[in-house]
Structure 1
Amino acid sequence: MYLTDKNKGLTKAEVESRIKENKINRAVEDQFKSNWQIIAENTFTYFNLIFAILAFLLIIVQSYHDLTFLPVIIANTVIGIVQEIRAKQVLSKLNVMNEAEVEVIRDGKPDSLPIDQLVLDDLVILKSGDQVPADARVVAGEARVNESLLTGEADEITKQVGDELMSGSFLVSGEVKVQLEKVGKDSYIAKLTLEAKAMDTSEQSEMVRSINRLIKWVGILIIPLGIALFTQNYFLNHLPLQTSITSMEAAIIGMIPEGLYLLTTVALALAAMRLARRQVMLHNMKSVETLARVDTLCVDKTGTITEPVMAVDKIVPTAGVKNEALETLLQTYARNMPMENTTMKAIKERYSIGKGEKADNIIPFTSVNKYSAVVFKDFSLISGAPEMVLRDQFENFSREIEPLTDVGYRVLVFVKYPKPLKDVTDKLEGKVEVLGYICLNNPIRKEAKNTFTYFAKQGVDIKVISGDNPKTVSRVANQAGIKNADRYIDAQTIGENEYINAVKKYTVFGRVKPDQKKKLIQAMKTTGRTVAMTGDGVNDILAMKEADCSIAMASGNSAAVQAAQVVLLDSDFARMPKIVNEGRQVVNNIERSASLFLVKNIFSLLLTFIALIAAVTYPLRPSQITLISAFTIGIPSFFLALETNHRQIRGKFIPNILARAIPGGVTDMLAVGVLMLTSELLHLDHQDVATTATMLLIAVGLLVLYHISKPMNTYRVGVILASLAGLIFSIAFLHKLFVLQMISFKAVFLLIVLFFAEVAIFGWLSKIAEGIREILIKYSQTGSKTTVAELKEAYRKGIDR
């Protein structure tokens, strides 16, 4: 460690020397991928390799018509690369603009720098709320530090000159000057910053996790099935090499959801970009989907329901204390206390003017003690939470305090303690002399009532978790229009095994300590709730990390902002409905699009098994699969994914898409299976069967497209008509490209019969699938308590839909 001057810090030359030696506080890896990484990850994929092999085989057998899938694959890859790079650029600009900064001393002058521009041996000044940017040692001052991000324990530790500070911890109170000892890859911050900014892969949203699982299993199946089909066609059925390969490839292409993952990535990227333009930064794009599924939103009173600013509205002296005397003592108290939090800032703004005796010592506020004090030779002046300061005396003064809290004030008691406190660990003992009460308030945010009304209509429960008096919080919550705001509890009365019952019964939780916030979130998740947590202070971080989705106000401290998945850059809580709606649009539209993709995959998989079992040839060609995919899946999916869709999400991702996809896939399989069987009896040639099968699949594709687009509107009708027009044009003018021909009279007759059968079968299967989906939703909501009658009712509702 280089011993810099405690007042001057490093010189410019010393800083440049450390930069050249790469002793910079920069993480080993960045949150964002490089452009080349994005290009490589989108290009060199498993399925792109499969498509490359399939294309090579078609070129070998000179079946060039069947290479029509290649432009689609190339377009998918290019679109994915462009959209991901654009999203990265937008988000990285926001990230730089809102990067955490700390105060550093260089050449004897203070300056504010982003934490990744600090170098080894820098002198840094840290204040209450600051996150320690790198491993350091205290060279001046004293502070209380929370190391919960490192140890998981919420205990606050006093750090004095010579003590070590670990990166990732944060200051709860006090101010210190530190010298950085380990930076960059040698520091814990390289790991902690990444963990705070981005979810781990195990924390992926349900939708992305389900799609990954789906693609994984498809990837495993296609290789053995492809080999089996080719072996049967070429060696057992003795078909020509070209026919064997094209038949096998049509089946494999039909099983690959080639555009699904791309569509999901693009939809999430576009949502992140739209939110960025609305001053909302996502540390991970997938968090927007998680927030869309949230059914419980936990908020703090200050900064969320109310404005983050606080002001002293009035002071109320107790009996026997004159107002002038109380103000004089408050001036003495305010003059000595540092401006360490918003409460102290409000007190100092009103009472710092005037003279007062200089204190011998200062006891900073901590979230554990919930009071602060200035210490003189024979006594201490204390202000803080009445319950914590008065203790056994609280009942004697509750009649004076309750009328103040009932009108919404945050009340601090101001007392004279007959002993000089030594430090924050020195417990209050005996009685105190109550001098008066400091009445503070935060104005209700103008947009708060509309925001909470929106969430109530959407079925999202609001839980208010605050360190303030529960009565005060309850009244403020009621003024903001929060449902059941009159159900409140003092968190100090909750037993260790009573948290689950408490979260079920109460809406407002007051006097909550940091570790209790985490326990409340855990209890809500235990009851099956999807929980979002908003916060702006260091005392919120444990709960934010525990929640399914965390939202921070940019006006809060840097540690909370770094820990959150979603950051409101303008600290405007009214943006929350827009964020939820963005997530719903992504999930609803991807669910709809995924259903279209799966119809083809289910059909092709089932028909492949039938072909293998019955030892018959797969009837379609790759170019025909491409035609069906383009106009009944790919193109409509892309445009439907752009549509505004804020419908409330019901059920789980996989059951939802299967309920829509299985009827279409099974209908396709039955129709084409019957066609293959009857073709032998009617003596239809292979081209007749292929063209007729293509027409049947197009018909079912349009039926599925219509079904999942209900209720219809102008936009959806336009998408369906455009797809139909594209199909008619391709069949009429590009029939040679897609290997389509005029079919015989017998094939036309069979096509008409099977079409009407398809309509009936698809309608019947869709009703059954929707009924089963309603049963699953009902069961997931009520679990084992669901009665047979309720299940029958859920099924009936599904059938009626």
Structure 2
Amino acid sequence: VSEIVNTSRGKKPSSSNARNVIKELTQNGISEPADFFRQLPSFQVAYHRSGGRFEHASTMRYFSCKKLRYLWCDETKKFTKLHGLDVEVPSPAIHHAKGLSVYEQSIRRLIYGSNEIFIPLRGVLTLLFLEVLNPFYVFQIFSVVLWFCYEYYYYAVVIILMSAFGITLSIIQTQRNQRALYSTVKSNDSAVVIRDTLESETIETRFLVPGDVLEIPSNGCTMQCDAVLLSGNCILDESMLTGESVPVTKTPLPLKRDLIYNRKEHARHTLFCGTRVIQTRYIGSEKVLVKVLNTGNITAKGGLIRSILYPPPVDYKFEKDSYKFITVLGFVAFCGFVYTLYTKISRSVGVIKIIVESLDLITIAVPPALPAAMTVGRMYAQKRLKRNNIYCISPRAINVSGSIDCVCFDKTGTLTEDGLDMWGVLPKDSTNSFQIPLKDIGRLPMSDHLLFGMVTCHSITFVNGEMRGDPLDLKIFESTGWILEEANVSDETKYDMLFPTIVKPPRGDSRDDLNLELDVAYDNSNDIGIVREFSFTSALQRMSVITRKVSDNHFNVYVKGSPEMISSLCLAESIPEDFQTQLGFYAQQGYRIIAIAYKQLDKKLNYSKVQKIAREKVESELKFLGFVILENRLKTDTEEVIESLNAANIRSVMVTGDNLLTAASVAHDCGMLLDNQSLVTITAHPEKGNSSRFFLSYDISGQRQLTQSDIINDNDHRVVISPSDEKLKNGGGNYALMTESNSISSSIDTCTITTQLSGGAYEKEDHAHRITIEADQVGDHLAKQIACGSFRFALTGKTWSIVNEHFPELVPTITTYGTVFARMSPDQKQQLITQLQTLGYYVAMCGDGANDCGALKAAHTGISLSEAESSVASPFTSKNPTIACVPSVIREGRAALVTSFGIFKFMAAYSLVQFASVVILYSIDSNLTDWEYLYIDLFIISVVAFFFGKTSSYDGPLVKQTPSNSLISLAPLLSLALHMMVAIGIQLAGWYHVQAQPWFEPFNYTTDRELNDHGCYENYTIFSISCYQYLILAIVFSKGAPYRKSIFSNYGFIISILVNTALAIMLTLYPPHWLMEAFELVMPPEEEGFRFRLYLVAYGFINFLLSLFIEKVLVDEIAFKRLRYRWHNAAKSRRKYLMVQQRFLRDIQAPSDFKTVYGWSNEKYDY
């Protein structure tokens, strides 16, 4: 906890004196506020708590954690997070545009710090120190020191070189990641601030503090702080935060006494740090001013960087289990250590020899080469990914990707191409029926109101000579061929103009061009002026414009939006009878459908009245004109990839910042939502008269299976009534959405449906979260749908936040069954990832924007399709911008996980086998010789481990069964235990077999110890058998399909096995004389003992057959595939989502329980 204390007394310095001091200090290279205040007679620190007023204090206690500061509050006796001007600040306080003096700016900077996002760059020595502190490497250092004491130099040097190689690679990669993030975040700029004297001054942006008033330059800039717009308009590119490349227009914050600024509610008035101001617009000579809300680490960009630097901890389960397993091996080593001490002391062995050999037993039981072997396996996987243009900056993440059972996708730029493509239009004729669809927009009559709506109802504007706007608006307008012209003034002054935009028909032929060149007047009777625009909002699902044709003496209104909303605003007689049929037909094919309507305003309305008319009056009693049909094309690989993930039982989730309806359509198209699944849209609503109370409505949409549907608007509430199949239709059943008690009647063909709906059937203390549908057949049908899992949830980020805050008990169910999460902010994306992980999913996130950074970092596996900011936060980056990389990463991850398991089991088993060999030999005070150790460790184990991981991933389809990711589970533990029993049993069999031979002479530890000789018949037997066992273990632990290719495709591995097998047989049967001397082998007599040599080879073959049976039958088939599920208990499983699903299905089957949780009964369906 730090304290800033004022130790001087006196008058507050004047602004001019303070400026002079700062100028002098800056020229001398000093720019910190503390240095400035040392030369002032007095100072106080300033900070904001609430209300827009800054409190001053001579002493302030605070601490910093994860780049955020927490201040001590004497009133609450708590530390509270330091805020800028974005918390509980009324609009008048923000609009107080008086700037800050240099002194006030400086004392605020004492608390808020420099307006910089600092990325710490750790040096090589620091990284080396942190890397070496890994428990494995600490043990390696201990082992190497011991080996040098034991004069076991060769293998020690090999281990040092392998470990140095792994540590060097890790440090190089970490430094690259640090520099990449630093270069992404580092930004130096200047800004024009308005002082308290209303003078302008240019300063470096790092000196900005909350409360500063800035002037935004007309040519734009990159925002270095969060600020709220006070005057003028700004057009921003917010792709860095939202991922959407659509320019956003920001308007000034309204000046209202009762308006309290809220960052989310007033986002359209806020310029966020990291976003780029493309252009400003102002009235006359008025400046575009903003007030700084947040600086440094508490800005929007600061939050993004914090999510990269401090992500939620990823559960590297394999690594955790490996530490536990090493602990078990350590316990085994300790038992061997105690046994060795006892046997050596009982034989009066020298103290030094006892200590060295006892400690050496620990290095045998716990393999020091394990980290190097694991590193080599991941290195091969990394190289294979690189060949597929997938770059990995965190090899640890490769193993984790093998456990992935849920993949979250961004939509735009990830699943789909950027933008929409025009398909055509479906106009309505004079008989109130739909015409045939027109794909050529040029065939629309020049006097058609549908055409006029397409060319005027948009928010397109010119920025630096280029048309910019929503991609949907641009695509529709460009398809018409019309020309957009704005008033002949500079872009910056196009603010709140009365008549700024005109649209003109396309020029028909070369005569129009000639007339234009000759300045000959052309017929402008079809030119249309856009007088007023009502912007699109997702809540209203529409936008509208008021226009006037040059040749007309009245104004027209054109409204564009979702078909459901537009139809509810139209006169009933203007809606074609087959409206729902046509809508359902195109919706089923996944098209994006936009409806357009219009009406003629009263001729008495003039320009000034048009500017004041209320939106509600404009957008009413409309006449329906037709549909505009667009398609958001999926990327070429999207459907195939989603299908492969579905086949592998890997859940796919869409988490996007885009519109919910668009996201739902894409989810249907790409296969995330299957044809037999209904989408249940959850929407949170505040209660009337009490905005702090909420309830949830569930819109059950089975549009892909509907035969009919009807949409009614009753008291501004949308009600969807849809028979789901013929049985329900004949029985009068329906699905319905309602927010409060109403009686709805609708006629569909010859079937009349009358349904009572009421809200608040389930009451909590503060909230109600379902509606009641009194329709037995609907309830029964939907219950069956839910029971068989044929539904999925969809919701927006706004609803997600409300559910998390007010309905936390529903979060697990919604997260488990949710498929479409739309309008999600970067923070909400990260929250969803974390929630999925909490439920036990292993989550991958695939995205292409900076707004995905937090989610990419939080996920177990982050895959970026961009080389920009998101690649810094993501372990994987694909050069191919399609989701085809996802199965590749999962496939390689599964192969790497199986490889890691195999290598770990192999190294552990090798250690235990060698441990058993040494303990057996220690019983007669013998041991393996130095060259035997070296041959086993270097030529068998190291060579086999090096090639072990080279087996490529399986190139067939992904299978449903994910490989085991837990070392502390039935299959791996049973595997190791059985193999060890067989290995030790075979060694003991050979041990007693050799002692029963007539030519056998027992080892005399008293005589041979003086000669420092370990060679004996027992040594030869144990060494020969163990050589076969190491190779056998390598073969049985090297798994093939369905996660890796056959080991026969790994030529290096096969050759190393064959060569070592040949060497082992040679050493058993006929070793050369020089090898016999080097290995100190005491061979059985050639005539009498040759049969025993053959027995040793037979022992190896028997061991191979037994080990193969254990691994392939007992472990893989019985323990892993059968007993694993038979003994599985969902209640105790770490995969909590299984329990959520189980409880949900149980509640449906037990009506009394389900009624308690979800409101179900035999008489009505509450949801």
TM-score (structure 2 length as normaliser):
0.52
CA contact (8 A) 1:602 1:666 kept: no
Flag the structure with higher helix content: 1
For 1:281-300, what aligned pairs fall within 5 Å after superposition? 281-282=391-392, 284-299=394-409
Distance across 1 between alignment mates of 2:301 and 2:28: 22
Is residue 637 from structure 1 mapped to residue 745 from structure 2 by the alignment? no
- Inter-CA distance 651–121: structure 2 relative to 1 (3 Å threshold): same
2 CA distance for matches of 1:424 and 1:282? 56
Equivalences for 1:6-25 in 2 at 5 Å?
Answer: 23=114, 25=116
Letter in 2 for 1:25: E
| Aligned position for 1:353 | 483
- Whole-Å separation in 1 of the counterparts to 2:915 and 2:301: 48
Compared CA separation, residues 591 and 227, structure 1 to 2 (3 A) = closer
Alignment of 1:331-410 (within 5 A): 331-335=455-459, 339=468, 341-347=470-476, 349-350=478-479, 353-354=483-484, 355=502, 357-358=529-530, 360=532, 362-366=534-538, 370-373=541-544, 382-387=559-564, 390=567, 397-410=579-592
Deviation (angstroms), 1:70: 0.7
Say if 1:87 and 1:272, in contact at 8 Å, map to a contact too. Answer: no
2:629 corresponds in structure 1 to 439
**1:214 — aligned with what?**
325
SS at match of 2:458: helix
Shift of 1:139: 5.7
Cα separation, 2, equivalents of 1:15 and 1:400? 73
Query: How many equivalent residue pairs?
Result: 741
Judge conservation of contact 1:317–1:436 (CA < 8 Å) in 2.
yes
In the TM superposition, what are the counterparts of 1:140-151 in structure 2 within 5 Å? 141=233
* Offset of residue 545 of structure 1: 7.6
Please state if 1:121 is matched with 2:208: yes
Task: Say whether 1:628 aligns with 2:936.
Answer: yes
C-alpha displacement at 1:203, in angstroms?
A: 0.9
Aligned mates of 1:504, 1:283 — CA distance in 2 = 41
Q: Which residue of structure 2 lines up, in the alignment, with residue 665 of structure 1?
A: 980
Q: CA deviation at 1:531?
A: 4.3
More strand by share: 2
Residue type of the partner of 1:76?
Answer: M
Deviations 1:15-51 (A, max 9, x none): 9979999946343435xx6543443345455455445
CA contact (8 A) 1:596 1:705 kept: yes
Q: What amino acid does structure 1 have at the position aligned with 2:347? A: N
Structure 1 residues 54 and 527, CA gap change in structure 2 (3 angstroms): closer
Q: Following the alignment from structure 1 to structure 2, what is the Cα–Cα distance between the partners of residues 464 and 90?
A: 31
**Residue identity in the other structure for 2:1120:** L
What are the within-5 Å matches in structure 2 for residues 257-336 of structure 1? 257-268=367-378, 271-272=381-382, 275=385, 278-282=388-392, 284-299=394-409, 302-319=412-429, 324-335=448-459
Question: In 1, Cα distance between the equivalents of 2:784 and 2:931?
Answer: 58
**CA-to-aligned-CA distance 1:209-236 (integer Å, 9 cap, x gap):** 33343345545765x4475245324433
Kept in 2: contact 1:360–1:375 (CA 8 A) = yes
Q: Which position in structure 2 is the counterpart of 1:692?
A: 1021
Partners in 2 of 1:196 and 1:147 — Cα distance? Answer: 14
Alpha-carbon distance between aligned partners in 2 of 1:296 and 1:335, rounded to the nearest angstrom? 38
The reply to whether residue 158 of structure 1 matches residue 266 of structure 2 is: yes
Cα gap change, 1:56 to 1:77, in 2 (>3 Å)? closer
Larger radius of gyration: 2
Where do 1:21-32 residues align within 5 Å? 23=114, 25-29=116-120
Instruction: Note the C-alpha offset of 1:74.
Output: 0.6
By how many angstroms is 1:699 displaced?
1.0
1:462–1:507 Cα contact (<8 Å) kept: no
SS of the aligned residue for 1:313 comes to strand
2:354 counterpart residue number: 244
The one-letter amino acid of 1:363's match is: S
Residues 54, 288 of structure 1: alpha-carbon distance in 2 compared, 3 angstrom cutoff: closer
How big is the shift at 1:698? 0.8
Partner Cα distance (1:611, 1:783) in 2: 41
Number of the residue aligned with 1:601: 911
Q: Residue 36 in 1 paired to residue 125 in 2?
A: yes
**Contiguous gaps of at least 5 residues in structure 1:** 4-10, 109-116, 787-801
Q: For 2:980, what is the secondary structure of its paired residue?
A: helix
- Residue 713 (structure 1) aligned with residue 1048 (structure 2): yes
Q: After TM superposition, give the deviation of residue 309 of structure 1 in Å.
A: 2.9
3-state SS of 2:661 partner: coil
- Secondary structure at 2:913 match in 1: helix
1:393-413 CA-to-partner distances (Å, cap 9, x unmatched) read: 799842342233234321122
2:160 matches 1:74: yes
Q: In structure 2, give the amino acid aligned to 1:314.
A: G
Greater shift, 746-755 or 649-658, is seen at 746-755
Check whether the contact 1:246–1:621 (CA below 8 A) recurs between aligned residues. Answer: no
Q: Report how far residue 346 of structure 1 moved.
A: 2.8
**CA-to-partner distance for each residue in 1:678-702, whole Å, 9 max, x for gaps?**
7777552153233432222111111
What is the identity, as a one-letter code, of the residue corresponding to 1:721? L
What secondary structure sits across from 2:308 in the alignment? Answer: helix
Looking at both structures, which has the greater relative contact order when contacts are Cα pairs under 8 Å and sequence separation is at least 6? 1
Distance (Å, rounded) in 1 between the aligned partners of 2:1072 and 2:617: 88
Alpha carbons 1:298, 1:532 under 8 Å: kept: yes
Task: Assess if the C-alpha contact under 8 Å between 2:531 and 2:546 holds in 1.
Answer: yes
C-alpha contact (below 8 Å) 2:223/2:274 kept by paired residues? yes
Within 2, Cα distance between the matches of 1:734 and 1:426?
101
Q: Which moved more, 1:601-610 or 1:13-22?
A: 13-22
Supply the distance in 1 between the matched residues of 2:173 and 2:393 (Cα, whole angstroms). 12
Cα deviation for residue 512 of structure 1 reads: 6.0
Paired with 1:499 and 1:605, the residues of 2 have a C-alpha distance of 60
- Which one-letter code corresponds to 1:342 in the other structure? P
CA RMSD of aligned residues (A): 5.7
1:740 is aligned to 2:912: no
Q: Tell me the distance in 1 between the aligned counterparts of 2:173 and 2:1110.
A: 41
1:281-329 C-alpha deviation (Å, 9 max, x unpaired): 5564433333333344454665344322313333334455976323333
For residues 425 and 596 of structure 1, the distance between their equivalents in structure 2, rounded to whole angstroms, comes to 73
The one-letter amino acid paired with 2:1023 is T
Percent of aligned positions with the same letter in both sequences? 14
Where 1:25 maps in the other structure, the secondary structure is coil
1:83 aligns with 2:169: yes
Separation in 1 of the partners of 2:335 and 2:906? Answer: 22
* Preserved CA contact (<8 Å) 1:83 1:266: no
For the residue of structure 2 that corresponds to 1:308, the secondary structure is coil
Q: Deviations over 1:254-302 (max 9, x none)?
A: 2223233333344445544654575545564433333333344454665
Residue of structure 1 aligned with 2:596, choices 382, 407, 414:
414
The code of the aligned residue for 1:157 comes to E
User: Secondary structure in 1 aligned to 2:937?
Assistant: helix
Runs of at least 5 residues in structure 2 that lack an aligned partner in the other structure: 1-14, 16-22, 34-112, 194-203, 244-261, 282-287, 433-444, 463-467, 485-501, 503-527, 549-554, 602-608, 683-697, 701-768, 771-781, 802-810, 819-835, 1004-1013, 1041-1045, 1131-1167
Task: Go from structure 1 to structure 2 and tell me whether the alpha carbon gap of 1:607 and 1:156 turns closer, same or farther (over 3 Å shift).
Answer: farther
The question of whether the paired residues in 2 share the 8 Å contact of 1:596 and 1:633 is answered with no
What letter is aligned with 1:646? Y
